[in-house]
Every structure is written in structure tokens, then in C-alpha cells.
Amino acid sequence: MSRRHRRDPRESQSPDEVFSEMLVAARELLAVRSPLDAELMVSDMVGAWWGRRLRRGDAEQVLGEGLVDYAAKAGSPAALTLLIALAYLGTARQAAKAEGAALALIERDVARPRWADRLGAVKPTGCFVSRDAYGDQDTVVCTFGYRGADSGEDRHALVVVVDYNMRGIARDAWVSSHVEKLLEQAGAEAGANPMLRFEEIEPQQARALLESAMKATLEYGDRRTTAPVSDSYSAYHAFARSRIKALPPGRKRPAPLHSEAPYSRDRRAMLAAEFLASDAAEHLSDPSAASRCADHIIDYGCDQDFGRPLRVSPTKCRTFLLDWLPRKIMLSPAEQEAVPYVLGAWARFAARRTGLADEGVRATLDAIWEATATFAEAYRDPTTFGLDRDLLERLLPDGDLSALARRVFAFPFLLGTHGEVKLDLLNPADEADRRTLLGIDHGGELDRPDYDEHLAWHEEIAGRLWEGDPPQLWEAAQRLLDLGHDRHDVLHVLIEIAERIGDDPEELAIALDDIADIPDEPPV
């Protein structure tokens, strides 16, 4: 079966207009001959809103449950067939509502296709995984057949690509009805490539691995609107979710994510010391810079790669050098010069510890050297923006480069003097100094009766911006700043929302996501 592509509802349409079009499209369900085709059609249909962010609520609730209600009211054979499919393919809330609505229509003798009773009645027939020697990704293949069907009838395979360089997300998914050809091809590729391994795994292990991957995709999307998935992923998301539930539950953690033991701070320091004392690091000319770079490499492997600092690959090293470091870490000039060479030495050191084949080591080193020239362009040293190194160290004591813009927004007065106060000596990370800085920022408001309370709220928002908690706070501020609003007005809107919502983090995130502009009379 060919891959399908996502069809997004037009932004100008109302939900009822979208539902009406979907119900017209659902008439095709009455003409299909197999439950598999029906499930794929409905999965493609509801994939139209996967990953969408709505101002008025969760897309699965507003659009998904809204479609169930709309179909229930329509009461046609096409609506019933759609409800039966949603009872299997929908979220838990959608499924419960769809099942109840479908039963009501069945009691009214609304016609439905013969295959409707077989919808979702599948059993797993085998689970396999294709793994590369680097540990970059797993391609999981789960095969299924319909209960009561003739041998081979409607047999199909769900294929999901799990990408460990993207926090273990399910990056791609599709379905194939050419099961034997798919398995033979995967086995042949592994036989011809020593860097690939294709093997059968337990269904319980496959379920744990895929559940973890799909959860990672959703969590990735929570942080960055939507995860970087393939065009086909949304169309197959509902189908994949339903097939995973058909696998037997069991192991709670997928095997590829296991590490030998948690990496405590002491264990990380010991690993760095072992590396710096190894033959691989003997050519590094600046031990101090090399030590700090090694710490960054180890932290990246532990915190971003499921506790696997010794795993190296061309993709992982490129991602570290060209994506993570430029976004996250403030490097000194010496570290900027040293880090590609330290990374190359680390690749040799780690490969010896993990037994990575020489072919893999060479490919990894080639990728590092190819990325070295690009790194100088990708890493924009903040000092080139005119920011003093001492100021940067006050703003980024944790070295988190991604926090620079929001911390500058929170504390704009850090240089020069204010009266007798030398701003250069104040530390925005210190609670007492932070209050002094914010007091200076509000020097013209000393006469307001609620000054202390108002300043306390500014401290609350400044502290949240400093930590980036929740991330939606800075995202909302940026949207308002992009519209040309004054910094102080933006802060007041954030304060009003935080004061109104209280301590509920989920409600606060939703309210911040809903900010599109500042009212004509912003709260003060």
C-alpha cells in the first residue's frame, strides 16, 4: 500500500464545515472491501489534525470528539461506519464516545458494511527490528492478520522508524501489505551490510519500544510545536497507535534505551578523567579546554541520548557539533577551537570501549572533519554581538546559551551605574541582587500603593523567564514583542495571566499558548 499524505483542514473553515467534508468522504468507506482499507482511510482522515495547536483547546478534543458528535447526529450509514472505525482508532475519549454513538445507531437498524464487525479484530503474527551498528535508529516491523480470515488475507505490516538522535521519537510510519517481500528485503540488506542487524524480537518488547517512541514524539511536540516527523506520519499515527495496543503488554523499558548504570556526576567525572588519560587524547594541546569539552560531550550523551555517552555515530556527532552546541552551550574561544578535535579523540576512545567496527569509526571521524569548517559558522560566539564576556558569565552561569535572550529580556539593566549602585557588580542569579535590579527597572513607580506586591510579581515572572519554566512564557513574550509591543506591557500581560491561573502548570501553558495580542488597555 502506498504512503498517504496529510490533508490539513483549511484554517478558514469552521469545525462543522470540516466535519461535513469528512462525512462526505466517509461514504467511500461503504464501497471498500476490507477492514484494513477502511482503517487506513479513517486513520488518514483523522491525521489531518494530528500535531495541530488550537487556541480554543486540544485538537483531539475539539476536532476529534467534535467529529464523533457530528457523525452521531448525522446518523447515516457512512456516519455509522466512521463511528465504528473511530471506536477502534480514536483516543480513549473519542473511542468511548464513538462506541456509544455507534451502538445507538445500530439499535436503530442503520446499515453497515459486512466487514465492520472485523474492524480492529487483529492478532500479531511477528515482530522484527532492523538496527544499525551505531545505535542511531531502529526500524520496527510488526506484522498482523485479521482473526478468522483466510491465511494471508489482509495480512499487513506496520513499519515505524525510531530515531534516537531525535530523543527517541517515532519519526516515520507506514503500512505495507507485501509482508513477505518486506521481510525478505530487510533480511537481505542486513546480510549485505555489516553495519546493519535484522532480528526477530518479542511482541512485548516491540510494544514497549513503540509506546516509548510515540510518547517521545508527543512530548517533543509539546516543547517545539510539532516533532520533525515525515509527511506520512500523521496519516498513520492513529492506525499505529491502535496496532500497538494489539500487541501484548510486558517489558516496561525498550532494550535499545538501556544503559549499564545511571551516570551520576561522579561517574561522569571519572569517565572524563579516563578519556583525558587515554592514548586517544594525548595529542590534545590544551588540557583545560579539552577537559571542559569532554564534559559537554559526556553531558550530551547522558542527558540527550538516553544515558549513552559512549555511543558515537556520524549523525550523533554532527548533531552535537552543529545543532546542540550552537544552541545550548557558551564556549570560551579556546573551547571553540578545541571542541572538534576533542570530539574526534572521543570518537576513537568511545569506539574502543564499545567495540564499534573500524568502518564505523572511519565514517564517524570523516563526518566530524567535514563538520569542523561548518562549526565555525554554526557557532555564533555571543561576544561577537557586542556582549562583554563578564556580562555573559553573569547571565549564563550555567552555560545555557539558549537562555540568553529571555534573560536579557528579564534583566535589561546590568551595565553602568544607577545612582550609587554599580550594576556591573550585581548578579541576576542572586535573589537579593535580582530584587535590586527589578527595583531599578521600576524606579518611576515607587508611589504606586501596591508597589511591593507588583514588584513581587515581576520577581516571579523574571525568575520563571530565567529558568525557562514554562517554555510557553518566553514563547508568548516573543510573539507579543514581534507585534511591536512595549517590553513592560508584555511583562504585565504575563503577570496578569500568572496571577489569574495560579499554580496549575497545564492551565498556565494553555493560557500562554492562547495569547495572540495585547488588549487595547493592557493590565497594570
What confidence tens digit (pLDDT) does each residue in 262-275 have?
A: 899 999 999 999 99
**Residue 56 binned pLDDT confidence (cut-offs 50, 70, 90):** low
Q: Which residues pair with 200 in a beta bridge?
A: 128
Q: Once rounded to an integer, what is the mean pLDDT over residues 374-380? A: 88
Global confidence as pTM: 0.81
Distance in angstroms (rounded) separating the CA atoms of residues 432 and 435:
5
% residues pLDDT > 90 (the chain): 69
Residues paired with residue 197 on neighbouring β-strands, in sequence order: 131
Contacts of the segment 417-421: beta carbons below 8 A, 24+ positions apart: 418/443
pLDDT digits (tens, 9 = 90+) for 468-508: 999 999 999 999 998 889 999 999 999 999 999 988 888 88
Does residue 1 surpass a pLDDT of 50? no
- Predicted pLDDT at 6: 40
What strand order describes the sheet that includes 122-132? Answer: 169-176, 156-163, 137-146, 122-132, 196-200
Query: Cα(381)–Cα(334) distance, rounded to whole angstroms?
Result: 12
The mean pLDDT value for 514-521 works out to 72
Backbone angles phi, psi at 199, to 5 degrees: -150, 160
Mean pLDDT within 249-277: 78
What's the pLDDT score for residue 225?
56
Coil, helix or strand at residue 128? strand
The pLDDT mean for the chain works out to 89
Name the band, by pLDDT with cuts 50, 70 and 90, for residue 48. Answer: confident
pLDDT of residue 520: 61
Q: Alpha carbon 510 to chain centroid distance?
A: 18
What does the pLDDT look like over 64-99, one tens digit per residue?
Answer: 999 999 999 999 999 999 999 999 999 999 999 999
Higher pLDDT pick, 239 / 59: 239
Residues 6+ apart with CB under 8 A from 323: 378
Q: Cα(339)–Cα(368) distance, rounded to whole angstroms?
A: 10
pLDDT tens digits, residue range 198-227?
Answer: 999 999 999 999 999 999 998 885 544 568
Q: Determine the average pLDDT of the residues in 413-442.
A: 90
DSSP state of 400: B
Residue 288 binned pLDDT confidence (cut-offs 50, 70, 90):
very high
2 has a pLDDT exceeding 60:
no
Q: How far apart are CA 72 and CA 82, in angstroms?
A: 10
* 100: helix, strand or coil: helix
pLDDT tens digits for 147-172? 876 656 789 999 999 999 998 999 99
How far is Cα 173 from Cα 480, in angstroms, rounded to an integer? Answer: 37
Distance (Å) of CA 146 to CA 112, 178, 246, 311 = 19, 15, 11, 40
Percent of the chain with pLDDT over 70: 91
DSSP-based helix, strand, coil % in the chain, nearest 5: 60, 10, 30
More confident residue, 9 or 415: 415
Rounded Cα distance between 516 and 505, Å, is: 19
* Gap between the Cα atoms of 22 and 13, Å rounded: 13
Cβ-contact 46, 64 below 8 angstroms:
yes
- Closest by CA to 398, choosing from 333, 308, 342, 468, is 468
Rounded mean pLDDT, 23-48: 93
- The tens digit of pLDDT for each residue in 396-413 reads 999 899 999 999 999 988
Cβ atoms of residues 52 and 101 within 8 Å? no
Residues in the chain: 524
Query: H or E stretch including 513?
Result: helix 505-513
β-pair type (156-163, 169-176): antiparallel
| Collapsed DSSP state (helix, strand, coil) of residue 156 | strand
Q: Which amino acid is it at 87?
A: A
pLDDT at 152: 60
Distance CA 373, CA 340 (A): 9
φ/ψ of 355, rounded to 5, equals 80, 25
For residue 125, what pLDDT band results from cuts at 50, 70 and 90?
Answer: very high
> Three-state secondary structure along 135-188?
CCEEEEEEEEEECCCCCCCCCEEEEEEEEHHHCCEEEEEEEECCHHHHHHHHHH
Q: Please give the pLDDT value at position 12.
A: 56
pLDDT at 436: 93
Contact (Cβ atoms closer than 8 angstroms) between residue 474 and residue 468: yes
Which residues share a beta bridge with 138? 131, 162
- How far is Cα 454 from Cα 362, in angstroms, rounded to an integer? 60
CA distance 96 to 98: 6
